[in-house]
Structures are given as C-alpha cells and as structure tokens.
Chains A and B, each alone.
Chain A
Amino acid sequence: MMKKPRGTFYLLITPVLLWLLALLVIPHLDMLYRSFRFETDDGLWVFSLNNYLAFFEDQIYWLTFVKTALYSIGVTILAFVVTFPVAFFLTKVVAKKYSSFMTLLLLIPIWIGELVTVYGWMILLRDNGVINSFLINIGLIETPIVMLFTSFSMTVGLLYISMLFMIVPMMSALDSMDDSLIEAASDLGASKWTIFRQIIIPYTTPGIVSGGIIVFMLVIGDYVAPNILGGKSSLWFTEQIYNKFLASFNWSEGAAFGFLLLLLSSSIVWVALKLSGQKLDKVGS
C-alpha cells in the first residue's frame, strides 16, 4: 500500500474541525461555564450554584422538567403504536405499485414544516374550528368541545410533527426483512401475535430505536406545538428556557436550564441505546 500524501487530509479536516470546535464544542462549554456564573447585587460576576438552586427551589421548574420528560417518552411510545402498522402496511401488505406513492405522501408534511402544520391543527381544533363546526352541523353536539389549549391538542400536535420521522427508519428495517421468515412461521402454525412478537419486532428493533430517538428528541426539544396548541397550561421545559432568554433576559439561569435539558435528553437517549444494544451512528443512517 502506498503512503497517501497528507495534503488532502488537511484540506478536508480543517473545515470539519472548525465546524465542530467553533459551533459545537466551544458554544456548549460556554453554556456550561455561563450556567455557573451569577451576578451579585454589586454587579460582580462570581462562580455560584445559584442558577441550579433556582431550578430546584422553584417547584414549577422541576415539575415542568419531569412532566416534559415523561410526556416525551409517552408521545414516543404513542408514535410507535400509531405508525408501526403503517410502516408494516407500506412495506409488506400493500401492492408495490401503490406503496411508493403512499410513502411520498408521508414525506410531504415533514418538508412543509411544523409551523404550518401546527397552525393547521390550531384551525381544526378551535372552538369555532373545523371539527367543532362539523360536529355541530351534523347535530352530534350542541356547544363546541374545548379542544385547543388542552393536553389533547398538544399531544396531537407533538404526535403529528414527530411521528413521520419514525416511519422511515422502521420501513427500511422492514424492507430488508425476508418475507419467507413470516411465511415459515405461519406454515408452522404460529399465530399473528407470536409472529409479531417473536419475528417482526426483534428484526425491526434497530429501526424502532433509531426512529424512537429521533421522535423523542423532536418532542422534548419542541417549542412550537406546546406553545401554540398547549396554551398556558402546556408547561413545556423549552418554554422556560425561551422565557429565560427572550423574556426575562436571565441568561445564566437559561444556560443552567439548557444544560439540564441537554443532560436529561442525552441520558434518556443513552439508556435507550444501552437497553437495545444500539450505537449512535446507527441512528443517523
């Protein structure tokens, strides 16, 4: 093997290093540093744990934190339950000539972006919105049902913006699965539930885990759906961070909260990867 000249290597690594250091490593170290800085009454900046204490002392902060974590896990599971049958249908059940068109339909809401789709749900779910008007018109209800600004509307929004990201990795896992495995099990008398649990689920676990992680990250880091559809009752942790930065301008506490959110999301992702025996680089592909 010839020894490769290194010039090209430096040409490639310089911009990549710049990107990773200047835009990922240094900003996060800065955030961590800032989260331990506190401005005293005399206007001096000192090292302190006050920003983190503020989080634990005020009940609303850590309650929001815990709620956001549990809710995000819940929405992720819901997204799996809702989309798995669709992924299975598109790869294994429907005739091939329809499946590529139906898959394309799934990608459209992703590219339209969450702001437009969340806005669409707002119009649908309002008191004088489309769903209420429809139900009143057909005489099913007399007065509008309150759906907007509840945890229902927030769940619908979070589910809608995230679930499609789960279908694609599950479909690629299912695509590589040989149908004859299912046929063999079925010939040997296995029930649908047994086939599902013993063959399909183990085979698709990589797809489920990477899709689940993407969904979880989108949900826990989202601001638009809780803020627009959840209203005042939403209590989403990203909203606390936004308020610290853009409303009360307490950047030190905001940095501490940001770091806590990062810690929370990475540890949940880490546990999910460990439990399923996956690696992070599989999530991307």
Chain B
Amino acid sequence: MIRSLPCSRLYITGYRLYIALFYIFLVMPLVTICVLAFNDSNFIALPWKGFSLDWFFANTNERLGLFKDEDLLLSVWTSFKTGFFVALFSTVVGTMAALLFEEEQFRFKGLLYFLALAPLVIPGVILGISILLSSTNAGLYMEDAFGWDIELLRPSFWLVVIGQFSFASTYVMLLVSARLKKFDRTLEEAALSLRATRLQVIRLITLPFLRSAIIGAFVVAFLISFANFNTTIFLVGSDPTLPVDLYSRIKFSSTPVLNAVSFMIVAFITLAASISFFLNRKNR
C-alpha cells in the first residue's frame, strides 16, 4: 500500500495503470493543441495535412499567422500589461495585509480577515458584476454631480486591473502569510529593543526574510491575471485581454491560429515551470 509495505503484483500494476491513464488524460488536450498548431490545414482539427509554420508566420488571404495578426498581438500585449499592473498592486497590498494580520492586534481583526479571504468563496462572475455595477453607479454620480467623465469607472483597461486586483491580493496575502508564519519573531523583538523603529524593522528584517515569497507571489498574481476570464469579461472595454479575445474567436471565428497561440502559452508555461523546478532543485 505504501513504500514500506509489500503488496500483491496485481494491486501495484492496477494502481500504476490508473496513474498512467490519469496523466494521459491530463496531457491529451495540451499535446493535441501543440501538434495541430503545425498542421498545414485551414481547419482547427484533423485530418493532418503535413507540417507547416503558416499559422505562426503566414500573411495571405486565407491564412493569417499569429505573428502577423495585429489584433491578436495587441490582446497579448494587453494581457501582459494587465498582468504586470495586477501583480504589482496586489503584491504590495497583499504583503501589507499579510503583515497586518500576522503581526498587528486590533479591533475587528477577525471580521477584516474574513473579508480578505472572501474572494476565495465568491465566484469570479459575482466579483465582476458587482464591481461593474458599483463603478457604473459611481461614474453616473460623478457625471451628474460634478460633470466629470471618469474613464476609470467605465469598462476599460484600468477597471480590469482593479477587478483582478480585488482577488489576486487574497492569494498574495496567503502566500506571504504562509512564509511569515515561519518567521522567528525574536529577530524583530531584538531589533525593536535596540531602538529600531517599526518601519525600519519591516524594511531591514521582515521584508528581506520574505523576499522569495514576495517574488513568488508576484509571479502567481501575474499568472492568475493572465489566465482570468470570468471576472474580466464584465469589465473589459475596447481592448480585450488574451482570454477574452480567444473566447470570442473560439465562439465565432475559429482558425488554427488559436492552436498557434495555445501552443505558445503551453510552451511558455512549461518552460517557466521547468526553470523554477531546476532552480529549486539546485538550491536544495
């Protein structure tokens, strides 16, 4: 049953077979996309018509490859920008929240902590519509009361950033808190008794200790933002992010360029995961 206990051959073989099937199930859609990205065909699925890089580089009437499709490149760029700002803001606020809830004592702490965790159990759709509703209301109010037309409050690039930030911060907070729980408090107390100010302690002792967790949280927040669809769709303005663009193409105009984009994403994530894997192994 476990490593140290002997088991019947049949049990072991059956178990291994199941695990193999599970991994086949896991990689099947990814491998399919990656292979079909190089299919010399005008349709997204089979049959296989030979190897071609058309869906990456072609620019003809029939075929518009990924690197020639300006709309697609623009939505990729929008996603990168969105991801960067979401990661930046949520890393700052999420880290502050982690420090606040781990190190400070104050009234209503339990309630606030509960609120900070709430995005874990609020469907992304609800976050999207509630932020859309209240920003629209605020925008209407601003226009009625002061005659200001504030673009931020209409579906736009920055509203998407705000919407994704609202739940990305929770994940940052959890990642940083987990690291902070392993922190030796006596270091802080020693510095405080040596007359360091609280801010100096955070800057010189706590934050350096948290450095790797904060970098990790930044990457996680970026990836969460890059893949998000459910919240984004309600807040997006005239410049779609990549998932929103992909969705409308899948629904209305699928060409194999979708396979090419998906291949790039799969390749990028796999590469990034492998790099982090080998770096981790080296550090150990």
Query: Of all chain A residues, which has the CB nearest B104?
Result: A9
Q: Indicate whether A158 reaches chain B with its CB closer than 8 angstroms.
A: no
Question: In the complex, are the beta carbons of B92 and A15 less than 8 A apart?
Answer: yes
Given contacts A24-B166, A26-B134, contact A258 B126 (CB under 8 A): yes
Question: In the complex, are the beta carbons of A23 and B162 less than 8 A apart?
Answer: yes
Q: Indicate whether A141 reaches chain B with its CB closer than 8 angstroms.
A: no
Given contacts A15-B92, A16-B93, contact A221 B119 (CB under 8 A): no
Q: Which one of B49-57, B58-66, B207-215, B228-236 contacts A?
A: B228-236
Using a CB-CB cutoff of 8 Å, which residues 107-137 of chain B contact chain A?
Answer: 112-127, 129-135, 137
Neighbouring A residues of B97 by C-beta, 8 Å: 12, 16, 19
Given contacts A120-B32, A284-B174, contact A30 B18 (CB under 8 A): no
Question: In the complex, are the beta carbons of B29 and A105 less than 8 A apart?
Answer: no
Q: Indicate whether A195 reaches chain B with its CB closer than 8 angstroms.
A: yes
Question: In the complex, are the beta carbons of A23 and B33 less than 8 A apart?
Answer: no
Q: Indicate whether B226 reaches chain A with its CB closer than 8 angstroms.
A: yes
Using a CB-CB cutoff of 8 Å, which residues 75-127 of chain B contact chain A?
Answer: 92-93, 96-97, 99-100, 104, 106, 112-127
Q: Indicate whether A54 reaches chain B with its CB closer than 8 angstroms.
A: no
**A10 → B minimal CB distance (Å):** 10
**Bound state CA distance, A117 and B44, in angstroms?**
14
Q: Which one of A58-66, A81-89, A201-209 contacts B?
A: A81-89
Question: In the complex, are the beta carbons of A122 and B250 less than 8 A apart?
Answer: yes
Q: Indicate whether A74 reaches chain B with its CB closer than 8 angstroms.
A: no
Neighbouring A residues of B182 by C-beta, 8 Å: none
Question: In the complex, are the beta carbons of B30 and A85 less than 8 A apart?
Answer: no
**Bound state CA distance, A212 and B134, in angstroms?**
31
**B132 → A minimal CB distance (Å):** 7
Proximity string of chain B (218-246) to chain A, C-beta cutoff 8 Å, 1 when within and 0 when not: 00000100110110011000000001001
Neighbouring A residues of B46 by C-beta, 8 Å: 128-130, 133
**B182 → A minimal CB distance (Å):** 12
Q: Indicate whether A57 reaches chain B with its CB closer than 8 angstroms.
A: no
Q: Indicate whether A107 reaches chain B with its CB closer than 8 angstroms.
A: yes
Given contacts A129-B45, A280-B117, contact A238 B26 (CB under 8 A): no
Given contacts A113-B265, A120-B30, A265-B123, contact A30 B96 (CB under 8 A): no
**Bound state CA distance, A183 and B45, in angstroms?**
50
Neighbouring A residues of B281 by C-beta, 8 Å: 100
Neighbouring B residues of A217 by C-beta, 8 Å: 120-121, 123
Given contacts A123-B32, A195-B1, A221-B125, contact A228 B19 (CB under 8 A): no
Q: Indicate whether A166 reaches chain B with its CB closer than 8 angstroms.
A: no
Proximity string of chain B (5-46) to chain A, C-beta cutoff 8 Å, 1 when within and 0 when not: 100000000010011001101111110110010000000111
**Bound state CA distance, A105 and B25, in angstroms?**
12
Using a CB-CB cutoff of 8 Å, which residues 116-143 of chain A contact chain B?
Answer: 116-117, 119-124, 126, 128-130, 133
Using a CB-CB cutoff of 8 Å, which residues 235-276 of chain B contact chain A?
Answer: 243, 246-247, 250-251, 258-259, 262, 265-266, 269-270, 272-274
Question: In the complex, are the beta carbons of B133 and A34 less than 8 A apart?
Answer: yes
Question: In the complex, are the beta carbons of A245 and B45 less than 8 A apart?
Answer: no
Neighbouring B residues of A49 by C-beta, 8 Å: none
Q: Which residues of B contact A (CB under 8 A)?
A: 1-5, 15, 18-19, 22-23, 25-30, 32-33, 36, 44-47, 92-93, 96-97, 99-100, 104, 106, 112-127, 129-135, 137, 162, 165-166, 169-170, 174, 177-178, 192-193, 197-199, 202, 223, 226-227, 229-230, 233-234, 243, 246-247, 250-251, 258-259, 262, 265-266, 269-270, 272-274, 277, 281
> When A and B form their complex, which 9 residue pairs have the shortest distance between CB atoms, in order from nearest?
A221-B123, A120-B29, A113-B227, A27-B130, A30-B134, A23-B166, A8-B198, A27-B134, A31-B130
15 A-B contact pairs sorted by A residue (CB < 8 Å): A12-B97, A15-B96, A108-B266, A114-B227, A115-B250, A123-B32, A124-B28, A124-B32, A128-B46, A130-B32, A217-B121, A217-B123, A221-B124, A261-B126, A283-B117
